[in-house]
Amino acid sequence: MDNLVFSSSIYYSKNMSAIKVKLSYKDLLLFPDNGKKNELIDGDHYMKAAPSVQHQAIVRNILYLFERYFRNTKEGIIFCSPLDVYLSDYDIVEPDLVIVCQQNSSIIEDKYIKGSPDIVVEILSPSTMEIDQSLKKHLYEKYGIKEYWIVNPFITEIKQYIIKGTAYVLSNSSGESITSSLFPELKINLDDVFYRN
């Protein structure tokens, strides 16, 4: 099984009643470095295996397209996993890609990004589809992350959600290209995103 979910720690009192305890960032630091992605969502632990070659090719391509643009404009900074995004003591995630606008760069710390980045990108795999499209979407919406991109390599589609008030609105469900509302001068062609070689 390439995606394992561990619920919060369960302890038993003297009368054998179960007490659920949320895991925190301090607990996360105690997990062994086993090459897997460890995340906390509302104190529940999620662990994912190493990604596929196709997944990593998409990460490489998006990273390259944004990095090339940012080198010229200095408008933002892009990071790829593994890098913790610390949203709260009980919500620590590792999106595939994280983009922070230059004016918000104070959230970038030595160990992690502390606070809400401007854009997060998740690339779907069979084992993460449900988490990325539901649980993480609600989490990113809750913390007011301005854009959430869900990249589906199986149908070569990108769903782009933009925060409006307190809720995400589907702004783009692919086409031939995608443009961020934060960086309107950057047009990303889907052929470049899903290029494999």
- Domains, the chain, ordered by start: 3-47 (no CATH), 51-193 (3.90.1570.10)
**What per-residue confidence (pLDDT) applies to 12?**
52
- Digit-coded pLDDT (tens) for 13-24: 556 666 677 888
Q: What is the mean pLDDT of residues 171-195?
A: 90
Q: Which percentage of the chain shows pLDDT scores above 70?
A: 88
pTM: 0.85
Q: What is the 3-state secondary structure (H, E, C) of the chain?
A: CCEEEECCEEEECCCCCEEEECCCHHHHCCCCCCCCEEEEECCEEEEECCCCHHHHHHHHHHHHHHHHHHHHHCCEEEEECCCCEEEECCEEECCCEEEEEHHHHHHECCCCEECCCCEEEEECCCCCHHHHHHHHHHHHHHCCCCEEEEEECCCCEEEEEEEECCEEEEEEECCCEEECCCCCCCEEEHHHHCCCC
pLDDT confidence band for 51 (50 / 70 / 90): confident
pLDDT confidence band for 156 (50 / 70 / 90): very high
